[in-house]
Amino acid sequence: ATFSPLEVMTDAPVIPVIVLEDVEHAVPLARALVAGGIRMLEVTLRTPVALACMERIALEVPEAVTGAGTVRSAADAEAARRAGARFAVSPGYTSAVGRACRDLGLPLLPGVATGSEIMAAAEDGYTELKFFPAMQAGGLAMLKAWAGPFTDVRFCPTGGVTPLNAREFLALPNVVCVGGSWLCPVESVRSGDWSRITQLARDAATLRR
Ligand code: 3PG
């Protein structure tokens, strides 16, 4: 199945931001998240094994929907697509990335932090956006301010979102889901504590929207 950006955002209240250091961690981590009810997975292109991890998950965990995070160029988008990514998330927005993802049929959640960036993305047809870095760039107050002029735009705030503040973000009418790295603590991934990750996913999956 293919998903629209809005479907990627509405699948669960949280999109986990995943940093993988070892290809052997990819499949058990994806299974742990899926077992907790989270299947849209953002694997960031920040480590040398990221693409190989996406390939493994795409092959071995059919219940998961693997996306690529940290997509910064058309080349990143192409590499992610080849590795089996089914959506893309970028930390900022350029028309080149927007065009590449559209040409590849890759749903994109572009990252924005200002009104001008929202307008640039919307001009290119993108109205489901990642607000990044959410806490650092204005948090809840910024989203409330944007609700006035940008009534047709929906956000996934990411960056500084935690289990403690996620509910407040999710309660805003222009927020569909949040993103965060807290579901995949580095120490739990390194030690293979998959049951902890399933529990974190379960808690995240039941956060009220
Ligand atoms: C990232 O790109 O690293 C995400 O914004 C995750 O941020 P977090 O660690 O604050 O959740």
Three-state secondary-structure class, residue 61: coil
Please give the ipTM for the structure prediction. Answer: 0.90
Look at the chain and report how many structural domains it folds into: 1
Closest ligand 1 atom to 182 CA: 11
pTM above 0.90, yes or no: yes
Query: In this structure, what CATH number is given to the domain that contains residue 192?
Result: 3.20.20.70
Active-site residue flag, 187: no
CA–centroid distance, 181 to ligand 1, in Å, is: 5
Indicate if 130 belongs to the active site: yes
Q: Which of 14, 15, 17 to mutate to test the pocket of ligand 1 (most atoms within 8 A of CB)?
A: 17
Beta carbon of 98 within 6 Å of any ligand 1 atom: no
Using the atom order of ligand 1, give the atom closest to the CA of residue 181. 11
CA distance 209 to 207: 6
Instruction: Write down how long the chain is.
Output: 209
Measuring from atom 5 of ligand 1, which residue has the nearest CA? 159
Distance, CA of 193 to chain centre: 22
51/31 Cα distance (integer angstroms): 18
Query: Considering 21, 60, 123, 130, which one is annotated as catalytic?
Result: 130
Task: Write down the residue that tokens 């292109």 correspond to.
Answer: 45
CA-proximal residue: ligand 1, atom 9 (nearest): 181
Cβ neighbours for 121, distance < 8 A, ≥ 6 positions apart: 93, 98, 110, 112, 127, 129
* Inter-residue contact 13 to 205 (CB < 8 Å): yes
How many C-beta atoms lie closer than 10 Å to residue 16's C-beta?
25
Q: What is the pLDDT of residues 183-204, one digit of tens each?
A: 999 999 999 999 999 999 999 9
> 114 lies in which domain range?
5-205
pLDDT of the chain along its 209 residues, tens only?
789 999 999 999 999 999 999 999 999 999 999 999 999 999 999 999 999 999 999 999 999 999 999 999 999 999 999 999 999 999 999 999 999 999 999 999 999 999 999 999 999 999 999 999 999 999 999 999 999 999 999 999 999 999 999 999 999 999 999 999 999 999 999 999 999 999 999 999 999 75
Distance 23 CA to ligand 1 centre (A): 21
- Please state, in angstroms and as integers, the Cα–Cα distance from residue 105 to each residue in 65, 81, 180, following that order: 15, 9, 25
Nearest CA to ligand 1 atom 7: 159
User: Of the residues 42, 63, 78, 123, which is catalytic?
Assistant: 42
User: Is 106 exposed, middle or buried, given 0-12, 13-18 or 19+ CB atoms closer than 10 A?
Assistant: buried
Tell me, using a 6 A CB cutoff, whether residue 181 lines ligand 1.
yes
State if residue 159 touches ligand 1 by the CB under 6 angstroms criterion. Answer: yes
